[in-house]
Amino acid sequence: MLSRFSLYFDEVARCGSIRRASDNLNITPSAIDRQILLMEEKLGVPLFERMPKGLRLTAAGEVLVAAVRRWRRDLRNVEAQIDEMRGLRRGEVSVALVEGSGNFVTRSLEEFARRYPGIVFHMHQMISQEVVDSVLSGEADIGLGFNPPDRHDLRVEQAMIYQVGAIMRPDHPLAKKAEVTLSECGEHPLVGPDRSNAMRTILNNAWSASVGELPRFSAAASSVTLIKSLVMHGAGIGFLTPIEVEAELEAGELHFAMIAHTKLPLSALTLISASGRAQSAATSVLIQHLAAAMMRGSAPHLG
């Protein structure tokens, strides 16, 4: 894309000799000399001083060679960007995500999919530990999970911090409140996670510290989807993060209330990748896109 003169001139300036530039470029000395003479005639100033042992740039030549080298750097950057864009015309990215994050992910990917329609996403829903295992094994390029372990082989790209709260039907007696206590919740039927879920232990400990007894769950479920379904069908009050019920809150199907006077542990929806692993262009740009979306959504819900 750069003119022959630019290439020849830069090489002569670097070598200080038309003969050495000719050898490096595999171009005849007369062809190089002709290009330089034509430019000197066009500009009306000499670009080189002809010395006994070679050529030395004049002041005008110094200005011009700086510009030529700047153009060459800019061209390399443009070519790199175009190569990157060419790579993003197609590609595949595997995403492991925890249940409850799907609405955030699909909404965030709308704009990305419009911009890069040739990229195919493979979405796999699993529990948080499986998200970590999938990323580390290479089965998934990136993962979204709650509270991943602190490991040297795991890279945290971004996180959204949330406080677990109470979810209920909009017609529930407590639905007019923005905050509720665990004691108030305990006066109504409760829907909790089953005993295999770490949140069950967290709720038990919080209840014991705040109320003085364990919560009495009228129903328990092994998944976020089942907990939401039970709550929406009137089985009781459930306990989830806002992002896990984002779609239902927007649709007016559920009400979310913060837990007052009791600090349940913060929950972090975290975007992760494997440390040190080379990423495809599609994966790298998707990470940047999701991280930016998480930055925009990370401020609320801290309790």
Q: What percent of the chain has pLDDT over 70?
A: 93
Question: Which residues, in sequence order, are CB contacts of 167 under 8 Å at separation 6+?
Answer: 228, 231, 237, 238, 239, 240, 245, 248, 254, 255, 256, 257
Q: Which structural domains are found in the chain, ordered by start? A: 4-87 (1.10.10.10), 93-153+272-284 (3.40.190.10), 165-264 (3.40.190.10)
d(CA 218, CA 230) in angstroms, rounded, equals 11
Q: How sure is the predictor about 83, in pLDDT bands with cuts at 50, 70 and 90?
A: low
Max mean pLDDT among 70-84, 213-227, 261-275 falls in 213-227
pLDDT above 90 covers a percentage of the chain that reads 50
- CB 122, CB 94: distance < 8 Å: yes
Mean pLDDT for 147-164 is 90
pLDDT tens, 256-266?
999 998 777 78
Q: Shortest CA distance to 116 belongs to which of 282, 296, 267? A: 282
269 class by beta-carbon count within 10 Å (0-12 exposed, 13-18 middle, 19+ buried): buried
Kindly report the average pLDDT of the chain as a whole number. 88
Write down the pLDDT at residue 246: 86
pLDDT at 1 over 50: no
Helices assigned H by DSSP within the chain:
4-15, 18-25, 29-43, 59-87, 102-115, 128-137, 182-185, 198-210, 224-232, 246-250, 281-296
User: Which residue's structure tokens are 């990305």?
Assistant: 112
Give the pLDDT confidence score for residue 291 in this predicted structure: 92
pTM: predicted TM-score of the whole model, two decimal places: 0.62
Spatial CA neighbour of 140 closest among 7, 271, 9, 298? 271
CA distances in angstroms from 149 to 18, 73, 133, 153, listed in the order given: 62, 42, 11, 10
How many Cα atoms are found within 13 Å in the side-chain-facing hemisphere of 193? 17
CA 297-264-166 angle, to 5 degrees, is 70
pLDDT at 218: 94
